[in-house]
């Protein structure tokens, strides 16, 4: 992602917390929770419309069988190092199980990634995918701390964010480098000014402790969990801190927990380039003529030429903004998250070649959390705050310049963009916690870990690294030979059967199973 949105996987997804990644020790329990908070009762009510910080839009409609969406607020410590101190609100959403009460397993808690994505808005949007799972689970999601209604981090306003995302994120000379650094410093300073009290307490281990409190408040002995993208990192950290509390868990679109931010960004450069290669091959393989190139290489060459041209002279985008090189790169990356978006990428490129940047800019807006009214969710702010809370590394322009050749070799299109994103946490107000997350979880129940060979944002290799890091007997590896970010939502019957079978019956597939 751009410098503001780490493709954390990328994640697209950190800071000085009182407790380190492994504060509880390998296989240990986290610090005790305030008894008053563990016994709190949730007051479930009809859900309001999502707040602007969650992305806006109408209140979620009932499910097809009439089941309403219910929302509640859970109290959690602001500082888990002082569990009897100040509290924050954690926003929750649920849809009750459609099956009989005697067959209900418990709650299935979802995190859809980011970091910074609102689960309160996201779960209703994806609910159709989980109809089978709802026969035995209440579907539950939440805004993690720092996100949406859960003590959401605030940085720049909408007008300032428009300018921020127009910033040239691949500087070519000293003047442009200074502008990029100044823009990053201004954004980070705004976060400190507007959310300074919250910033030290939005790390992934903090969110994992919220998850365990949530488990208790929901009345479950074990946490049944479905994590996607950054949600796999959160799930891994939870399993490390609370291995004995893990129930049936699935990790899809898996973050590599062994990598530094630099290694992750380089891996994503390779992953997005692979996805772009696959898009180009697919386009020219159609019976009809590919409208954006005669050969796969021609498709990619025309894209690099377009980006070079936009760097010199942007074209009209969504009025009054122009489509810049950075916005176009962001839009192209967004379209590579799903094969279903490839036709929009083809159309957006056609339009851009004719001087119309609207569609590519709309794709970029989607990744950046901007709605059609010009309002931004707090995705960018939360993404940076959580990432910088977690990641100890603070990179400099010299670090970037030293690695540019390697990044460019990995991807002529995305290399520079992702290399410069390493400066996101430079000048951040609070120190990061660790070199990488600790996810070792001896004693945990089996966790189904799914890797997609064509995933651009969380490259396939991360799944195997997660299995190894979880430890012997914990990770169960499943491979999906497909395209896009994640596997369960792809419509592949083999993947769906494996996931549903594990979550509904407790029977995991054989590790090493491959779905094509």
Query: Which residues have a catalytic role annotated?
Result: 229, 455, 485
Range 364-388 burial, b when 16+ CB lie within 10 A, else e:
bbbbbbbeeeeebbbbbbbbbbbbb
CB 188 within 8 A of CB 427: yes
447 phi and psi angles, rounded to 5 deg? -120, 125
CB 21 within 8 A of CB 30: no
Residues paired with residue 478 on neighbouring β-strands, in sequence order: 450, 513
What is the C-alpha separation between 444 and 114, in angstroms, rounded? 25
How many other CB atoms sit within 10 Å of the CB of residue 331? 27
Element (DSSP H or E) covering residue 126: helix 119-126
Which three-class secondary structure state does DSSP give residue 59?
A: coil
Q: List strand residue ranges (DSSP E) for 20-112, in order.
A: 45-46, 70-77, 87-95, 106-111
Element (DSSP H or E) covering residue 141: strand 137-142
Helical ranges in 148-260 per DSSP H: 158-166, 174-195, 204-218, 230-241
Tokens (6 digits) for 352: 């851009």
Contacts of 405 (CB under 8 A, 6+ apart): none
Indicate if the alpha-carbon torsion angle 80, 84, 85, 91 is positive or negative. Answer: positive
What is the C-alpha separation between 233 and 223, in angstroms, rounded? 15
CB 438 within 8 A of CB 410: no
Contacts of 43 (CB under 8 A, 6+ apart): 72, 73
CB neighbour class for 345 (10 Å; exposed up to 12, middle 13-18, buried from 19): buried
CA 95 to chain centre: 23
If you write DSSP's letter for every residue of 385-420 in order, what string do you get?
HHHHHHB-----HHHHHHHHHHHHHH-TTTHHHHHH
What is the C-alpha separation between 472 and 491, in angstroms, rounded? 30
What is the C-alpha separation between 170 and 416, in angstroms, rounded? 6
CB 272 within 8 A of CB 280: no
β-bridge pairing 45-46 and 246-252:
unpaired
CA 197 to chain centre: 24
CB 417 within 8 A of CB 165: no
């Amino acid at each position: 992602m751009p410098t503001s949105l780490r493709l954390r996987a990328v994640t697209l997804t950190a800071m000085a917390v009182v407790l380190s990644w492994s504060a509880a020790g390998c296989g240990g329990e986290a610090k005790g929770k305030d008894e008053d908070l563990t016994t709190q009762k949730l007051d479930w009510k009809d859900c309001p419309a999502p707040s602007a910080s969650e992305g806006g839009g109408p209140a979620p409609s009932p499910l097809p069988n009439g089941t309403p969406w219910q929302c509640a607020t859970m109290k959690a410590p602001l500082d888990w190092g002082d569990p009897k101190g100040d509290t924050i609100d954690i926003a929750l959403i649920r849809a009750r199980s459609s099956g009989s009460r005697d067959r209900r397993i418990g709650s299935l808690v979802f995190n859809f990634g980011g970091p910074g994505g609102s689960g309160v808005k996201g779960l209703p949007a994806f609910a159709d995918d989980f109809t089978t799972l709802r026969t035995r689970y209440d579907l539950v999601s939440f805004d993690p701390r720092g996100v949406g209604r859960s003590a959401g981090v605030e940085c720049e306003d909408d007008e300032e964010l428009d300018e921020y995302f127009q910033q040239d994120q691949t500087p070519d000379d000293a003047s442009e480098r200074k502008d990029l650094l100044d823009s990053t410093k201004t954004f980070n300073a705004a976060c400190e000014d507007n959310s300074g009290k919250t910033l030290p307490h939005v790390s992934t281990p903090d969110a994992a402790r919220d998850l365990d409190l949530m488990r208790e408040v929901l009345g479950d002995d074990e946490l049944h969990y479905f994590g996607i993208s950054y949600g796999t990192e959160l799930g891994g950290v939870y399993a490390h801190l609370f291995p004995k509390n893990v129930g049936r868990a699935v990790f899809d679109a898996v973050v590599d927990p062994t990598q530094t931010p630099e290694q992750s960004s380089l891996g994503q450069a390779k992953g997005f380039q692979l996805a772009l290669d696959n898009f180009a091959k697919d386009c020219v393989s159609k019976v009809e003529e590919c409208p954006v190139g005669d050969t796969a290489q021609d498709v990619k060459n025309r894209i690099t030429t377009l980006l070079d041209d936009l760097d010199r002279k942007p074209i009209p985008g969504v009025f009054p903004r122009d489509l810049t090189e950075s916005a176009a790169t962001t839009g192209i990356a967004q379209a590579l998250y799903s094969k279903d978006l490839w036709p929009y990428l083809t159309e957006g490129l056609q339009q851009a070649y004719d001087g119309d940047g609207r569609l590519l800019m709309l794709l970029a807006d989607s990744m950046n959390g901007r709605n059609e009214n010009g309002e931004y969710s707090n995705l960018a702010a939360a993404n940076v705050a959580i990432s910088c809370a977690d990641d100890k590394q603070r990179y400099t322009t010299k670090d970037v310049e030293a690695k540019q050749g390697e990044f460019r070799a990995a991807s002529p299109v995305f290399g520079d963009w992702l290399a410069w994103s390493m400066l996101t946490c430079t000048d951040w107000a609070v120190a990061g916690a660790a070199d990488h997350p600790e996810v070792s979880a001896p004693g945990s129940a089996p966790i189904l870990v799914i890797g997609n060979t064509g995933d651009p944002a969380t490259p396939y290799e991360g799944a195997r690294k997660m299995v190894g890091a979880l430890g012997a007997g914990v990770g169960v590896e499943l491979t999906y030979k497909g395209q896009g970010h994640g596997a369960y939502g792809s419509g592949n019957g083999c993947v769906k059967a494996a996931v549903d079978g594990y979550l509904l019956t407790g029977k995991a597939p054989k590790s090493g199973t491959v779905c094509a």
